[in-house]
Structure 1
Amino acid sequence: MKDQLDGLNRHAKTVAASAIPAPPTAGLQPYTGPWDRPQLVHLLKRTMFGARLGDINYFATKTMEEVVDELLQPTAAPVLPPLNNYSVDGYIDATGVAPWQIWVNASPLLYNQELNQKRIASLQAWWMGQLLNSQRSIHEKLTLFWHNHFAVNMNKDASIRAQHWYGHYLSLRNNALGNFTQLVKAVTLDPAMLFFLNGNTNKKTAPNENYGRELQELYTIGKGAGSAYTEDDVRAATRVLTGHTVRTDNYTYFFDAGEHDSDNKLFSAFYSNHIVTGKTGAPGATELDDMLTAIFATEEAARFICRKLYRFFIYYTIDDAIETNIIIPLADIFRNNNYNIQPVLSTLFKSEHFYDLTYSSACVIKSPIDLVIGLLREFEVSLPASDNAAGQYDVWALLLSVCSRQQQQIGAIPEVAGWYAYYLEPSFHETWINAVTYTERTIFTDNMILQGITQNTATIIIDPIAFATALPNPGDPNALMDDSLSILFRYPLSDATKAFIKQSILLSGQTTDYYWTNAWDAYISNPNDAMAKSLVQTRLQAFYKYLMNLPEYHLS
């Protein structure tokens, strides 16, 4: 068995390697080429979780510019925060929050570790629901990007209140499509982050360099060739940040002027020898704005963020040509637009480079979240209704568990640098695939198409007949093949492979297309005929199972 799994792992990586993009020939100039399903599906898969047929049809009548503009519109804040889904099997919320009621407004002063852990699990499951139910917008996927950028692990410190972690999610989401400087400031002053990276203990008499270091190393400047901040800059940033803390009486953000270092802070030549003038009293809090101005005056800050956006949304390799033709001009747009995020993404998603599909399509291995959430969305898997909170949370918790077994758990990123796939050189996205995770992926896709997966009262399963019925011409096995692949795959299958799949599965070993067409027509003419339905169901299950078992299915 181990040899078989290792072989699957090698095969997956071989397919990924064979999909290494050809050298790009296009830059950031506006795209003027064909605008058909391949380009649209590529855009939707990169900006959302999967490309649903309904979304493809909705956007098909719009221009590329119109689609990008719509995808970059923020969506409304969640109407319903996380609920008490944990008062089961006799467990009672000690703070009095009733089952299926909102817990985020409960006083953080009323705390016990077991309850807090249950609420964090509730939040993590709820967040999966936000991804699953995301609208026709990049908003939730971009929030996930910022979650990886400001990487946290909610399970690492049990003393950080779940309410603060919900506030952290809102900080990311509320600023995801806005101004990056404001996002950095919001995260810096976020109580969850103040606790997580020890900013709450950073005092003039006992400076804590943790956040001052990560602010530059991970969040704004990075460690690339153009990064030249110094250890003195870390110390200066730490001094600027003294006094920003969390109140102990109500656990809200608080600037403690008495603990702030009010002397001047000198930064290095990398920051143009900028001096943050020290301030006493409440104005000391504004030193943070002064420091951020100096940080974002550097060229490297914009380039660092643009590289991360590029690696997340396009491809991980950034060679000299990509740096010169894509990253640097994109960073200039970022800086010239006062670090507003939308102009950068708009330029990227409307560029010749993005639609150079020989370079940018089918070249990355899907993350577990992209795989799992994308599968449910693309196959339009039936989900519990909004009035069935218990069923919804069962599904969300189940998907959280599935992704965790594939080594991507939302709210529990293993390193402060993010998930390995987005920064660990040289493997990058290949870290998603190993003998364990590839097996977990296959178990998930097999179960979803064959018998479904269940948690408590909720079961989710792919309905292959419903999916096929929504396609333009499912009675034609060739059209069924091509239309299915146009949604589910980005890596092209050869004609020989398609012919083999069609004959061995859809035609049950026969050589004439009408063996499938007759079976389909018989079912359509009498869908209550159990035998006719079973024949179609069995073939479609085998068909989609085979497709999802191919390593190519894991490429985006």
Structure 2
Amino acid sequence: MFRSLVVLLFLAVPRDAARAAEPAKAPVWDAAAARHLLSRAAFGGTPEEAARLAALPLERAVDLLLEEAAAAKPPARPEWVRDVWINGGRRWSDMSAEEYLIVFRRHNARNAQEIADLRAWWLQQMITTQTPLRENMTLFWHGHFTSATGKVNGFSQAFYQQNETYRRHALGNFRRFLEAVTLDPAMMAYLDLERSSKAHPNENYARELLELFTLGVGNYTEKDIQEIARAFTGWTLDAPPGSVKVNRPTAPDRLQFPSITRDGMVPTFVPEQHDNGEKTVLGRTGRFGIQEVLDLIVQQPACGRHLAGRLIDYFGASDPEGRLRERMAQAFRESKYEVRPMLHVLFTAPEFYAPAARGSKVKGPVRLLVGACRDLRLEGEATPSLAQLTVPLGQELFNPPTVKGWPSGTAWISASTLPLRY
């Protein structure tokens, strides 16, 4: 099916930013280039789909892909998703320990089944969608803004909600996306923002926000992390308004049954738990909260460069001198932090169609499986068993191995995974 050869060249910082931003020679646009675009952007494509794009000028072909992805309607949600989620694993004050153990186990079993169904549901969307670029970008964001079921137990609906958030913002404004991610229930639970208070600010989310999600190593200080953690205090997850809250358990029960203490998954601001003092973040001082901090972050030149580098790596352009990254970062700044213009620059760039970029990207297991199903025009409903095929290859949806997400390039290849790919 897919034959992959070498890892991407390391992205170098250009010595002369003005020179790096200069556009290169226009790429050759033909049927082979159209197939390459579909392979990277859309999980692959049929000969008819490639011919449709090849008949258009390159700029128009890319615009068409982006327009269709941006205009796509969200898929119908799984049947088990509810409008309002209330924790079915709570322990009420009149329950004995034995009764609660039954409730807890039943809740966890139901959650495990829902997560398995969710993996199959998303795989089905990727295989059958008429706008594969949108699902591909949703997958990209899932590996960029990571959360994992391995840590966040009993919380299946939150992962569906997160998936929909990534899909809704996939090609949109990055600043608005950052706010949605910051107050996403699964993310708040995964990186402990729900536990961050004025007396005990938790630095986990602040650290990953700067290191992995926005700026990259070397573009912030340890003090910035500490100050952002203070700015983000006061947010927690609570029950829907009007709901009856659970009777808080004792410490031993809380350790044995993690889901016992979560009433709901509504992001809720508790003013008395927020540190309203002055903070100094990225060289600016003020009584900052989430809004002000996110504004400061996206204004940093490093933000656009970091995001451009992640997109270049994911879609597999050849950019050894960093010129493409600079042009994409410039589009990010000039558009006031929109993702779509960055993708337009990427998919029309000579570096994307260069010989060094073709046949040089080792696809991740999900993209490999989805591409094969789409190329073979396989129909029918995806099942949890089909979704499970990617696990021995190293990619389990909704459960990346670390907060850094999944590896890329030749890291997907090992003595155990290579035979399974062919």
Which TM-score applies when normalising by structure 2?
Answer: 0.82
Equivalent of 2:231 in 212, 217, 240: 240
Report the residue type matching 1:81 in the other structure.
R
Report the residue type matching 1:143 in the other structure.
T
Q: Matches of 1:302 and 1:186 in 2, distance apart?
A: 18
Q: State the SS of the aligned residue for 2:5.
A: helix
Contact kept? 1:49, 1:141, Cα under 8 Å: yes
- The answer to whether structure 1 residue 215 and structure 2 residue 209 are counterparts is yes
- The answer to whether structure 1 residue 302 and structure 2 residue 291 are counterparts is no
Equivalent of 2:5 in 13, 16, 19: 16
Aligned to 1:188: 182
Aligned residue runs from structure 1 range 196-215, under 5 A: 196-215=190-209
Equivalent of 1:275 in 262, 285, 291: 285
Q: Using the TM superposition, give the Cα deviation of residue 31 of structure 1 relative to its aligned residue in structure 2, in angstroms.
A: 6.2
Report the residue type matching 2:219 in the other structure.
A
Q: Matches of 1:17 and 1:186 in 2, distance apart?
A: 36
Q: Matches of 2:9 and 2:340 in 1, distance apart?
A: 28
Aligned to 1:353: 351
Contact kept? 2:21, 2:327, Cα under 8 Å: no
Q: State the SS of the aligned residue for 2:351.
A: coil
Label 1:194 to 1:136 Cα distance change in 2 as closer, same or farther (>3 A).
closer
Contact kept? 2:75, 2:125, Cα under 8 Å: no
Label 1:118 to 1:137 Cα distance change in 2 as closer, same or farther (>3 A).
closer
Q: Using the TM superposition, give the Cα deviation of residue 137 of structure 1 relative to its aligned residue in structure 2, in angstroms.
A: 4.6
- The answer to whether structure 1 residue 80 and structure 2 residue 60 are counterparts is no
Contact kept? 2:8, 2:316, Cα under 8 Å: no
Aligned residue runs from structure 1 range 370-385, under 5 A: 370-381=367-378, 383-384=379-380
Identity over aligned residues, as a percent?
29
Aligned to 1:257: 271
Aligned to 1:89: none
Q: Matches of 1:368 and 1:18 in 2, distance apart?
A: 16
Q: Matches of 2:338 and 2:7 in 1, distance apart?
A: 36
Q: Using the TM superposition, give the Cα deviation of residue 171 of structure 1 relative to its aligned residue in structure 2, in angstroms.
A: 1.2
Aligned residue runs from structure 1 range 367-406, under 5 A: 367-381=364-378, 383-384=379-380, 392=381, 395-406=382-393
Aligned residue runs from structure 1 range 62-77, under 5 A: 62-73=56-67, 74-77=70-73
Report the residue type matching 1:195 in the other structure.
A
Contact kept? 2:233, 2:275, Cα under 8 Å: yes
Structure having greater relative contact order (Cα 8 Å, sep ≥ 6): 2
For each residue in 1:350-393, what CA deviation from the matched residue of structure 2 results, as whole angstroms up to 9, or x when unmatched?
1222222x121111112111221111111212x22xxxxxxx2x
Return 5+ residue gaps in structure 1 as ranges: 1-11, 84-101, 279-286, 385-391, 422-428, 443-556
Return 5+ residue gaps in structure 2 as ranges: 13-19, 90-106, 240-244, 246-263
Label 1:363 to 1:207 Cα distance change in 2 as closer, same or farther (>3 A).
same
Q: State the SS of the aligned residue for 1:408.
A: coil
For each residue in 1:103-150, what CA deviation from the matched residue of structure 2 results, as whole angstroms up to 9, or x when unmatched?
333632323211111111111111111111122451110111111101
Contact kept? 1:407, 1:432, Cα under 8 Å: yes
Aligned to 2:252: none
Q: Matches of 1:346 and 1:364 in 2, distance apart?
A: 20
Aligned to 1:104: 82
Label 1:169 to 1:156 Cα distance change in 2 as closer, same or farther (>3 A).
same
Q: Matches of 1:246 and 1:164 in 2, distance apart?
A: 11
Q: Matches of 1:369 and 1:258 in 2, distance apart?
A: 44
For each residue in 1:212-249, what CA deviation from the matched residue of structure 2 results, as whole angstroms up to 9, or x when unmatched?
111111111111xxx23111111100011001211144
Label 1:33 to 1:306 Cα distance change in 2 as closer, same or farther (>3 A).
closer
Q: Matches of 1:156 and 1:54 in 2, distance apart?
A: 44
- The answer to whether structure 1 residue 411 and structure 2 residue 398 are counterparts is yes
Q: Matches of 1:397 and 1:313 in 2, distance apart?
A: 27
Q: Matches of 2:8 and 2:224 in 1, distance apart?
A: 42
Aligned to 2:412: 432
For each residue in 1:244-268, what CA deviation from the matched residue of structure 2 results, as whole angstroms up to 9, or x when unmatched?
211144431111111100101112x
Q: Matches of 1:137 and 1:103 in 2, distance apart?
A: 23
Bigger Rg, structure 1 or 2: 1
Label 1:192 to 1:259 Cα distance change in 2 as closer, same or farther (>3 A).
same
Aligned to 2:148: 153
Aligned residue runs from structure 1 range 22-101, under 5 A: 29=23, 32-73=26-67, 74-83=70-79
Aligned residues: 370
Label 1:440 to 1:243 Cα distance change in 2 as closer, same or farther (>3 A).
same
